[in-house]
Amino acid sequence: MQRILFTLSLLLALQFQAGAWAALGHAVVAKIAEDHLTPQAKAACQECLEGLSIVAVASDADIYRGQWILPLDFMPTNDPQKLRPKYVTEFDRDLPLNIVYYGHIFSVDEQCRPYRTNNFDNYYRTNACFDVANLTADLAEWKTMDPEMRKRAVALIVHLVGDIHCPDHIKYPDENSTGNFEIKFKGKKMKRHAMWDSDLLASIIPWSYSDAARLIDTADDAFIAEITAGDVYDWGYDSALCCRIAHEVKAGADVPRSYAADMRELAFSQLRNAGYRLAALLNTIFQ
């Protein structure tokens, strides 16, 4: 079954027509990263993924959402009565509560600095930056890890680094959610989060993921060295600073068709930076 689901993830990642950050965007990020891996890191990734490319598993964290990924504030250690019913029904309650779950968003403070924990005021929240840091530490022993666990760890890192760079995967202190409210985009009602996760990116990338990666991957070595400096918390900080403008779209907004073109530079920059940083992280892990 695991092999079937991983094959399914490959098909989903390659179907750019689906037009989602979770498919097209993540595939673009992974392809850019793959093109900047050292031979040693690329070989190690393929060994961990049983021969698959990191592009193939870029959306696995969404496919295994009920088993790997939790929405904002939905932690097994928190009071279930405080959780939205939607999240309770989506969560696979047959799984043990002592396994590790991961989040695809992160919260920042008033200075746009990501939190370095998943415990805010005695309430556990999902934190993609924190999770990437922990997964990176886990993979330090990748050669002796359980094969299924290291496969999952690599797939999660590939996905979560991409998520950290998605404009609506950042929760600022003056917001109650990450775009979980209704707007209208190109005449269609949707959540702002869904606009960034799907329709907007599809509007500005009419190519395959590999063509998009080639067209977006234009930086020189000096820029790549600068953008990959620091750690995942520094990258989250940079994303939070850059993406604040995307959060100016408020509930009930009628977003014009031209908004996609207006946000093209931001979207491309975030995809490109995510790819470079993912490559730098994997190169460091598997050096």
Q: What is the DSSP string of 4-28?
A: HHHHHHHHHHH-GGG--IIIIIHHH
Give every residue of the chain whose pLDDT is below 70, as ranges: 1-22, 66, 70-100
So what's the pLDDT on residue 155?
Answer: 97
Helix (H) or strand (E) holding 151: helix 147-164
Which distant-in-sequence residues (6+ apart) come within 8 Å of 269 by Cβ? 242
Q: Please, what CATH class does the domain formed by 2-285 belong to? A: mainly alpha
Span 52-61, pLDDT tens digits: 999 999 999 9
CA-atom Rg of the chain in angstroms: 18
So what's the pLDDT on residue 103?
Answer: 84
So what's the pLDDT on residue 121?
Answer: 74
Span 160-186, pLDDT tens digits: 999 999 999 999 998 877 888 999 998
So what's the pLDDT on residue 23?
Answer: 85
Distance CA 17, CA 222 (A): 34
pTM: 0.86
**Domain ranges, ordered by start, for the chain:** 2-285
So what's the pLDDT on residue 17?
Answer: 34
Q: Are the C-beta atoms of residues 224 and 279 closer than 8 Å to each other?
A: no
Mean pLDDT of the chain: 85
